[in-house]
Structure formats: C-alpha cells, structure tokens
A and B are shown apart, each in its own frame.
Chain A
Amino acid sequence: GAVVSQHPSRVICKSGTSVKIECRSLDFQATTMFWYRQFPKQSLMLMATSNEGSKATYEQGVEKDKFLINHASLTLSTLTVTSAHPEDSSFYICSAMAGGPQPQHFGDGTRLSIL
C-alpha cells in the first residue's frame, strides 16, 4: 500500500525552540497533504490542508505564524512549530492524498514534548 514517512517520530526540546517535522509520500505524488494534531483520548484535529505549490489553508483557531507549513513538492510537506511552548506538546500526524476523493495515507506521527 501507499507509504507516507514522517520524521522525526519523537522530539523532546526546550521551550522556545523551533521544531520542523517532515512528511514524505514515498510511492505516490501527493497533491494534498493534511496536518493533524491529536490530544489524548480525542479524535484527530485537522490543523491545515496544503496543496502543492500553494499556501496552506488553516483551520479556525490554528495560528499560521506559529505552525508554518510548506508544501514545496508533490512528495514533501513540512510543519514547523515556531518558538514551541509546553502547551504545544502533542502528537502531530501528517497524511497525504493523491487526489480526492481517495483515502488519505498517514504517517506514523511525531510525539512532540516541550519542556
């Protein structure tokens, strides 16, 4: 099946650090990539949708200056959490889709812990 690689799988860093998470579709061209955040015992919360070559569309309440998304190619999207603080600690998951409506394929997520 389709493979989406997300890296790193775990990050622990100090408050104020910026953290970059990469999401790559390994065997298909992803016209659309999604970034989600999951809190314990809660559903996946969509943060933003990005289409290759254009600016990401952020969900209400998600600070675009805090969560910078770049989708520069059909196989790579990055999420940068700028000046991270403890409340940004969470499980971040990306997904990629070749074209809708089709299943989106998920990365294995990144556990971000800000001290």
Chain B
Amino acid sequence: DQQVKQNSPSLSVQEGRISILNCDYTNSMFDYFLWYKKYPAEGPTFLISISSIKDKNEDGRFTVFLNKSAKHLSLHIVPSQPGDSAVYFCAAYTGNQFYFGTGTSLTVIP
C-alpha cells in the first residue's frame, strides 16, 4: 500500500518559470516531510524538509508547502534552472521510518 504518492511521473518547465511538484499522503501519523533530488546512478540528495506543525518552509529557490487537512505536500522551485532537471522524491516520516513517493522527473527546458 503506497502511503506516499506522486501522481505525476514527469513535468517539463521552461527555464525561469516556476516548477511545482506535488505529493499526497494517506497516513495522518506522518510528522515530518522531506524532498529529495536524485540524478541517475547517484543517491538522493536532501533538499528541504518541513515539520507537520508548519505549513511552509523556504530555502532559497525552494519552498515546501504542507496542507495537512488535504494531506498534500508541494515543492515550488522558482526560478527553475536547467540544473534542476532531476527526479524529485517526496518522503514522509513516522516511527523511525521513511516512506517515499515514486518520484517525479523534472525537465527544465533552456
């Protein structure tokens, strides 16, 4: 049972525009959420996180939004750059365990 879902397997965005990656979850016990970026043949790299007591966290070009009532998480990248092209995984944490979505492949077109 997939508790964390990323329903868009891919996304293409023009350079300079905003990229919005979405993630839905089902378990209300999740108390910490993260976004990771992954290049081929490499391990994921941590990008940004948010605690369940917050609804927004910003770090440079990256902002994560959490809507607990909708059990929805999103990552905004603005402005998008070609180097942002990668697979993005959202993850949720509870009970010393992380649950990952299936990833969204972002392509930023120069």
The size of the chain B interface, using a CB distance under 8 A, is: 21
Are A43 and B43 in contact (CB-based, < 8 A)?
no
Stretch at the interface among A14-22, A70-78, A81-89, A106-114: A106-114
Q: Interface residue tally of chain A, by bracket?
A: 20 to 34
Contacts of B97 in A (CB 8 A): 46, 49
Stretch at the interface among B56-64, B74-82, B99-107: B99-107
Q: Given B43, B93, B103, which contacts A93 in the complex, CB threshold below 8 Å? A: B43
**Quick one: closest A residue to B99, CB to CB?**
A46
A1 at the interface (CB under 8 A from B): yes
Say how far B33's CB is from chain A's closest CB, in angstroms: 9
Are A109 and B42 in contact (CB-based, < 8 A)?
yes
Contacts of B51 in A (CB 8 A): 101
Contacts of A49 in B (CB 8 A): 96-97
Contacts of B73 in A (CB 8 A): none
Are A100 and B96 in contact (CB-based, < 8 A)?
yes
A24 at the interface (CB under 8 A from B): no
Are A108 and B32 in contact (CB-based, < 8 A)?
no
A1-22 vs B: 1/0 string, CB under 8 Å?
1001010000000000000000
Q: Which 4 A-B pairs have the closest CB atoms?
A: A106-B43, A101-B32, A103-B46, A43-B102
Residues of A within 8 A of B (CB): 1, 4, 6, 32, 34, 42-44, 46, 49, 91, 93-95, 100-101, 103-109, 111
